[in-house]
């Protein structure tokens, strides 16, 4: 049986490790950033990831030829993954293996694409310099014609990321002095093609013409690759949206109510179909569910949760005291992880309490802002006093794909608005929603807008009216809008 001493001893043998996830993402971690934690009769491991420090339960463990393999379960048993820990001294060899596997996938995609590019041959296959999960493929015909393809070789890249990378590559290819190329083909398989077509329909005509979408079909089924027709904005409104149902009212459980009362100005609640999540300044720290008519609660930050009962009550109060001390604008240490974690949901929680600090003309949906479904990740939905819907997308760090994420949310909301579903749901009570397209507000600290934000905003269809709201950097203390810009007017 694995014990804390044996596993910790293995990790002690090297100062640095490479944590490799199933998607091929490799993260360098120091030994002092890996924590082995006893949990009842088992063990958990905590280590730094791209999204921050996270703890997972260890289900299975193996150690072979210097490599540690862990099968992990995330919080509430919702996620399962395998992570390999390779000594940093072997990282170069591992990186070569990952590179080789991705290039193999890229070459397979290039071969499949030749079915649609008659008379072309493969000229080069490389990985994108900014995102190694994307491949850049160049084809050429006998007359010197060139074609450029981009594809995801890991099946993990979001459509928004793939679209943004393809557009940036298209800009570089068009700007070349020798043999410029006017457009880029995005090659994808399965449902990804539908997602890409819907995203491309939100681009203006000029930008849309610079992209092609190629569906890579299964060679084993004797299916060949083929180009797909672009969707237009009109095509989007013919779709049938998923049914959206919201409870008529949200009753706060007795357990949740008692915890909220401990710090009512800092703890809020998010309802879901399966229970309640309590957040301290936007950071989830308690989960409440009713099981067989009995309320049960779990607490903890990220990673595995611990049952809240008489035996753990003192530990829970210690956690709450730590949150009160460190997750505050007057924290004694801005390096503390409780201060740094989940900054976007912290800002969102502040705006949920007082959306008028951002814009006095806004009224927040009292229902929609309380309910989160897995398919609905819009930060906030509000109504302007003139009846215009407002989709609020919040960022606290530069994110290149923000524009396309927000545009996709706009499409989903606009489809429901045009079909009258939002009016039937009475998201704003008796207030009437105007028969005009929704607005998008992108809200972020002034220094947290990506430098490509304006570039991509100019590529959207004119129907999408998009605003940029810049906040003072000390937003945790006070929401102050220092600048706002209407990208819609710049495109007119």
Domain map (residue ranges) of the chain: 4-87, 114-236, 254-340, 343-491
pLDDT of residue 375: 47
Same fold, 4-87 and 343-491: no
HSE, CB side, 13 Å, CA atoms: give it for residue 17: 25
pLDDT band at 240 (very low <50, low <70, confident <90, very high): confident
Other beta carbons within 10 angstroms of residue 314's beta carbon come to: 8
Which range has the worst mean pLDDT, 69-73, 264-268, 357-361, 375-379? 375-379
Closest to 14 measured CA to CA, from 25, 29, 27: 29
pLDDT band at 14 (very low <50, low <70, confident <90, very high): confident
pLDDT of residue 374: 40
Does domain 114-236 sit in CATH 3.40.1350?
Answer: yes
CA distance 309 to 291: 15
Q: What would the pLDDT profile of 334-352 be if each residue is shown by its tens digit?
A: 989 899 999 999 999 999 9
Whether the predicted pLDDT of 22 surpasses 80: no
Percentage of the chain beyond pLDDT 70 is 90
Residue 133 burial (CB < 10 Å; 0-12/13-18/19+)?
buried
CATH of 343-491, one of 1.10.3720.10, 3.40.1350.10, 3.40.50.11900, 3.30.1360.200: 3.40.1350.10
What is the topology classification, in CATH, of domain 4-87? Answer: Protein Yojf; Chain: A; (2.70.180)
pLDDT of residue 117: 92
pLDDT of residue 9: 86
Predicted TM-score (pTM) of the model is: 0.80
């Amino acid at each position: 049986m694995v014990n804390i001493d044996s596993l910790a001893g293995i990790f002690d043998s090297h100062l640095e490790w490479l944590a490799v996830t199933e998607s091929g993402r490799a993260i360098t971690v120091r030994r002092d950033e890996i924590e082995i934690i006893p949990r009842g009769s088992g063990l958990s491991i905590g280590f730094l990831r791209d999204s921050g420090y996270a703890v997972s339960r260890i289900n299975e463990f193996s150690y072979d030829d210097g490599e540690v393999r862990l099968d992990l379960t995330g919080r509430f048993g919702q996620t399962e993954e395998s992570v390999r820990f390779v000594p940093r001294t072997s990282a170069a060899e591992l990186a070569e293996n990952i590179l080789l596997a991705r290039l193999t996938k890229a070459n397979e995609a290039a071969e499949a694409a030749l079915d649609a590019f008659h008379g072309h041959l493969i000229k080069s296959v490389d990985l994108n310099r900014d995102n190694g999960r994307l491949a850049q493929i160049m084809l050429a015909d006998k007359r010197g014609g060139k074609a450029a393809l981009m594809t995801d070789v890991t099946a993990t890249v979001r459509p928004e990321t793939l679209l943004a990378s393809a557009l940036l590559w298209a800009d570089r290819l068009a700007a070349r002095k020798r043999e410029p190329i006017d457009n880029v083909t995005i090659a994808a398989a399965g449902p990804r093609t539908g997602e890409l077509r819907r995203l491309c329909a939100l681009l203006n005509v000029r930008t849309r013409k610079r992209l092609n979408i190629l569906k890579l079909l299964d060679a084993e089924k004797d299916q060949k690759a083929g180009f797909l027709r672009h969707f237009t904005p009109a095509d989007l409104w013919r779709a049938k949206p998923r049914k959206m149902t919201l409870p008529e009212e949200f009753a706060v459980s007795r357990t949740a109510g008692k915890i909220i009362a401990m710090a009512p100005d800092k703890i809020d609640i998010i309802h879901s179909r399966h229970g309640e999540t309590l957040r301290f300044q936007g950071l989830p720290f308690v989960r409440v569910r009713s099981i067989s008519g009995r309320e049960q609660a779990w607490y903890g930050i990220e990673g595995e949760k611990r049952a809240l009962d008489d035996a753990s009550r003192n530990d829970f109060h210690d956690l709450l005291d730590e949150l009160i001390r460190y997750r505050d604008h007057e924290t004694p240490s801005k390096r503390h992880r409780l201060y740094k974690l989940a900054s976007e949901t912290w800002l969102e929680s502040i705006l949920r309490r007082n959306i008028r600090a951002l814009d006095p003309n806004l009224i927040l949906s009292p229902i929609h802002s309380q309910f989160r479904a897995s398919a609905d990740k819009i930060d906030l939905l509000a109504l302007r006093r003139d009846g215009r819907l407002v989709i609020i997308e919040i960022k606290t760090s530069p994110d290149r794909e923000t524009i396309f994420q927000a545009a996709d949310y706009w499409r989903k909301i606009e489809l429901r608005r045009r079909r009258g579903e939002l009016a039937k749901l009475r998201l704003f009570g008796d207030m009437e929603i105007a028969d005009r397209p929704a607005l998008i507000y992108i809200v972020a600290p002034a220094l947290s807008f990506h430098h490509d934000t304006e570039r991509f905003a100019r590529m959207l269809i004119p129907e999408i009216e998009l605003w940029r709201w810049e906040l003072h950097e000390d937003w945790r203390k006070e929401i102050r809008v220092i600048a706002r810009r209407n990208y819609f007017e710049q495109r007119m």
